[in-house]
Amino acid sequence: MNVLKTCEDLRKYVEAHSVAGNTIGFVPTMGALHNGHLSLLTRSVKENDVSIVSVFVNPIQFNNKEDLRMYPRTLDKDITLLESAGCNAVFVPEVAEMYPEGEIVAEKYDFGSLETVMEAKFRPGHFNGVAVVVKRLFDIAKPTRAYFGLKDFQQLAIIKSLVNQYDIPVEIVSCEIVREEDGLAMSSRNVRLKADERKQAARISHTLFDAVQYVNKKSVDEVRKFVINAINSVPLLSVEYFDLVDAATLQSIDKWDDAESVVGCIAVNVGEVRLIDAVLFL
């Protein structure tokens, strides 16, 4: 596996494969890899001639300095995992490589109503930071396909919008959430949970799965309240937001027939760790 450190290294690597007519699968990550990431890579390996993974903890998408400082960094382990999962190249730039101008960047993206709700409300500037790095990565890696997990449901919508707005010739592939045995959605942040927090965190997905049973039996508002109250009643869990939204627009629904497809998106603080999850309701 090639370890590429500079944008120029990546550019040259991609150029050689484009000339050879190879398709390129790309999995952008912030490292601390788990089986969720590896499932994206496995799919990329199946569907493309060459698979590239980026490992870059993107400082400009963190609106909380402590969260950035505490974000797990396990590069040596990540490289070993990627190699054994069939990755062809890993791109591991330094911050100055991605942001030669410094961390105050000029790009300002507009995602309309997609960036007025949920994560965007609670993490101002987060999606602009995601869009900046993803656009810069796409511009260099020129992937045929790029793979993202459905856990970050709003991020996926933002990236699809970015690709549409800028006519980026890449297929965005959405991949199912990979869960731990007890149902907790895999996340790089899970390693920061203390033992009791880890145990209680499983109640997030359990509650969401229970709530799915109430579709068309209880009102949307009753289901919202059920989820929030059930999770808040677990001692170490505190819901930041939970919403039932139209999967296409991410806007809140009032009635079950307001949208063809409905997703429940949640952010929960578990001690000092913030976790998100997303479950299809309809």
Q: Which stretch binds ligand PAF (CB under 6 A): 26-34, 70-78, 224-232, 241-249?
A: 26-34
Task: Please say which residue, 92 or 130, places its beta carbon nearer to ligand PAF.
Answer: 130
Binding mask 28-47 for ligand PAF (x = CB under 6 A): xxx-----------------
Provide, rounded to whole angstroms, the least separation between the CB of residue 133 and ligand PAF: 5
Q: Which stretch binds ligand PAF (CB under 6 A): 128-136, 164-172, 178-186, 200-208?
A: 128-136
Binding mask 155-184 for ligand PAF (x = CB under 6 A): x-----------------------------
Please say if 206 is a catalytic residue. Answer: no
DSSP, residue by residue, the chain = -EEE-SHHHHHHHHHHHHHTT--EEEEEE-SS--HHHHHHHHHHHHH-SEEEEEE---GGG-S-HHHHHHS---HHHHHHHHHHTT-SEEE---HHHH-TT-SS-------GGGGSSTHHHHSTTHHHHHHHHHHHHHHHH--SEEEEETTSHHHHHHHHHHHHHTT---EEEEEPPPB-TTSPBP-GGGGGS-HHHHHHHHHHHHHHHHHHTTTTTS-HHHHHHHHHHHHHTSTTEEEEEEEEEETTT--B-SSGGG-SSEEEEEEEEETTEEEEEEEE--
Between residue 44 and residue 73, which ones bind ligand PAF under the rule CB under 6 A? 58, 61
Binding mask 79-118 for ligand PAF (x = CB under 6 A): ----------------------------------------
Q: Which residues bind ligand PAF (CB under 6 A)?
A: 28-30, 58, 61, 130, 133-134, 152, 155
